[in-house]
Amino acid sequence: MKSFYELEEYALVKDVPIMQKEGIEYLIDELNKRNAESVLEIGSAIGYSSLMMATHVKDLHVDTIERDDRRYQEAVVNIHDFNQEDNITIYHEDALEFDDTLLKHAPYDCLFIDAAKAQYQRFFEKYVPYLKEDGFVLVDNLDFHGMIFDIPNIKNRNTRALVRKIKRFKDWIFSNDEYDAHYVQVGDGLCIITRKDQNENRN
């Protein structure tokens, strides 16, 4: 059987972006605390984070969507090698075009958005209806390696445009009337989002 160390090394050598260790450990803790049963992940890459979640949270099912052919194929092999076919369903689709009525394990305890950063808001709006009332959304890379704090000095035009979009999402979600967003300084900056009613009901 493959090990997580092998996946981490492979990702490093092949330049596959996977979640930082502290980030995925934080997510796993959060899922365990909430006795989560289901996660929808946007952006599987080679299956690393899905496998980490599925093997560290009891009775969890992960539905995950990946658009890239090669990464999808690699994820399928890894899910097989870790014997996790029963706990992970992977869809080979562009999440923005995917027929979301096909999602098998909705509603979800967690929506984990870890795909094209410029599209965060579109992923959020498309998939948040599939979140349980008391579920949470986790978004990774919100700081974009600290660049979000110094946009005018980003030399590359494309990067500057991308970081602007991330900032737009950040500003939008932090001033949203329906959702509470909390910044967590772990890894490359995480954001946990919950429905406002949920917190009001608790108080």
**Residues binding ligand SAM (CB under 6 A):** 17-19, 43-45, 48-49, 65-68, 71, 94-96, 114-116
Q: Which one, 49 or 132, has the nearer CB to ligand SAM?
A: 49
The strand pairing partners of 90, in sequence order, are 64
Q: What is the DSSP letter of 97?
A: T
Q: Which one, 65 or 195, has the nearer CB to ligand SAM?
A: 65
CA distance 174 to 179: 8
Q: Compute the 3-state secondary structure of the chain and give helix, strand, coil in percent, each to the nearest 5.
A: 45, 20, 35
CB of 130 to ligand SAM, least distance (A): 15
CB of 179 to ligand SAM, least distance (A): 21
Q: Which one, 4 or 174, has the nearer CB to ligand SAM?
A: 4
CB of 98 to ligand SAM, least distance (A): 7
CB of 175 to ligand SAM, least distance (A): 25
Q: Which one, 52 or 131, has the nearer CB to ligand SAM?
A: 52
Question: Is residue 42 helix, strand or coil?
Answer: strand
What is the token pair recorded at 136?
């949470």
Q: Are 89 and 40 spatial neighbours (Cβ–Cβ below 8 Å)? A: no
CB of 95 to ligand SAM, least distance (A): 3
Q: Is the peptide bond before 107 cis (omega within 30 degrees of 0)?
A: yes
Question: Is residue 13 helix, strand or coil?
Answer: helix
Taking phi over 0 as left and psi of -120 to 50 as alpha, with beta for the rest, 42 belongs to: beta
Q: Which one, 52 or 195, has the nearer CB to ligand SAM?
A: 52
